[in-house]
Structure 1
Amino acid sequence: MTRRTDAHPRLDRTDALAPFFSTWRVGTPERQRQTVEAVARAWENRPWPAEDLRGYHVYTGHDGTTLLHHSQWASEQAYEAFVKTLRQERVDEIDTAVPGIERLELRRYRRYRSVTREDRSAAVVPGCVVIVDVAFEGPDPDRQRAWVDAVLEALEGDPVPHPGGLSAHFHLSTDGTRVLNYAEWDSAQAHVDALAAPGEGVGSGSARWERVRNWPGLKSSTVGRYDHALGLVPR
């Protein structure tokens, strides 16, 4: 069966080899709430769909209009089997409850590297999830990995690291064009304060950070803040 949980997902679990992220636009904070509850009903009223689905989590965007969905699969083949047989009935129930949902995109990733603050306690619950979505000009898996490596070098050598960051989990899109950083923070205000610090974005104005921001082929970088609203796991 399906069980609801308030616990955040473990992004670095080794048995979730096919993480998916998708974005829905629903329009208002009230419709965000309604859609989260519709998702919960559609899933809780049905058996857990597959042993190879480790967890499914939904987040409300601080923009008041979007939802982020993150599912952790053992393989893409398991996801494809779910789509063929079980996904549509859930979609239909959700769309009946909240008409007009705009499903913007679904992207497939592989987690590449993670970093966690050394003094972080396992009991600490993130107060905010920050998604950094980076797009490059054309597919290049080597460039994806090299850029993430450069970001982590800049973080390790940052002379004034911000204390509000808890962890960062870097995912590479399977099409070779994007990097998604799922970052956990103490609070949304901690992230706001980090962005307002000297430099452009999180991080100082060091040469390493300048290299990251001016990486060849870097096309765009967007940042969104989210609250964990719903976790669904097998009972």
Structure 2
Amino acid sequence: MPTIAKNNDVITVIIIFAVEPERQQELIDTIIEFLQTTVKYQPGFVSSSLHKSLDGIRVMNYAQWKTLEDYKAFINNSEAQVKAAKLFQFQIHESHVYEVVVSKPDDATLKITEGGLIHLAQFRVKPENQMRLVELEREYVGIGLQNPGLLSANFHRSLDGVHNVNYGQWRSLADFEELLKDPKYKPLNEYWQGLAENEFHLYEVVYTHQQ
């Protein structure tokens, strides 16, 4: 099964689609078909994990490739793009290439498994502020890990400098809701103020494939 860790020798591509709730499953099925017929045969492809947001309006593909050059070769492959025609009817909300810059706890390696509950926090940031945000993420993640329901937190920075994401693995929805209500976790809602715009969704992992 796919894993996330700071020392992984891969690059990460996170593609987030915006979708109407009634078409969420259609989009998931379309991505799976494309993965099974085309993507998994591309040189350098490592893994793909599909997530559906609990509110029904997002689908996320968390993909890993051996190198940035492998991924660029794939997206510039005209034959592969023809086979992706069905996907073009859906709206891409965000798409960036990332590296994992913080993985906590230190002894945790996140294995992406179907049925897992994931909190994905997205931060839109100016390039000059990106590394400062990484420093704050590293500083404040310990507060979140005081909640035993947060199993791991993995912060990613986009290579284009304009996006950070936290991929947090949770034991249960009740644990996450406790974090939102308990005053001791309030700093987690404030550390990024003035540096970034924040959006988050809760996702369920619905499909994984690893070479």
Structure 2 regions of 5+ residues with no counterpart? none
TM-score by length of 2: 0.84
Decide which structure has greater helix share. 2
* Correspondence 1:188 to 2:180: no
Q: Which runs of 5+ in 1 are unaligned?
A: 1-6
Is it true that 1:15 corresponds to 2:9 in the alignment? yes
The whole-number CA distance in structure 2 between the counterparts of 1:76 and 1:47 is 15
Residue equivalent to 1:167? 152
The amino acid of 2:81's aligned partner reads: Q
Residues 92-140 of structure 1: CA distance to partner in whole angstroms, max 9, x if unpaired?
1445xxxx41112211211101013879998x97631000112334434
Mapped to 2, the partners of 1:73 and 1:146 lie a distance apart of 26
Compute the displacement of 1:148 (Å): 2.2
For residue 128 of structure 1, what is the aligned residue in structure 2? 117
Q: Structure 1 residues 125, 164: CA separation in 2 closer, same or farther (over 3 Å shift)?
A: farther
Q: Which residue of 2 aligns with 1:101?
A: 90
Are the structure 2 counterparts of residues 68 and 120 from structure 1 closer, same or farther at C-alpha, using a change threshold of 3 Å? closer
Pair 1:105–1:135, CA change in 2 (3 A):
closer
| Alignment root-mean-square deviation, CA | 3.0
Provide, for residues 170-206 of structure 1, a one-character-per-residue CA deviation record: whole Å limited to 9, x for no partner.
Answer: 111212233211000012232122212124xxx2x5x
Corresponding residue for 1:54?
Answer: 46
Q: Percent identity?
A: 19
Cα 1:22–1:229 shift into 2, 3 Å? same
How far off its partner does 1:52 sit?
Answer: 1.6
Q: Partner letter of residue 148 of structure 1?
A: E
> How far does residue 49 in structure 1 lie from its aligned partner after superposition?
2.9
Q: What code does the residue aligned with 1:22 have? A: I
Instruction: Indicate if the aligned counterparts of 1:54 and 1:72 stay in contact, CA closer than 8 A.
Output: yes
1:147 has 2:136 as partner: yes
In 1: Cα distance, 2:116 partner to 2:52 partner: 13
Give the aligned partner of residue 66 of structure 1. Answer: 58
Please say which structure displays the higher CA radius of gyration.
1
Asked whether the equivalents of residues 14 and 95 of structure 2 are also in contact (C-alpha less than 8 Å), the reply is yes
Judged with a 3 Å threshold, the aligned counterparts in structure 2 of structure 1 residues 87 and 57 are, in CA distance, closer, same or farther, namely farther
Distance between the aligned counterparts of 2:99 and 2:197, measured in 1?
Answer: 20
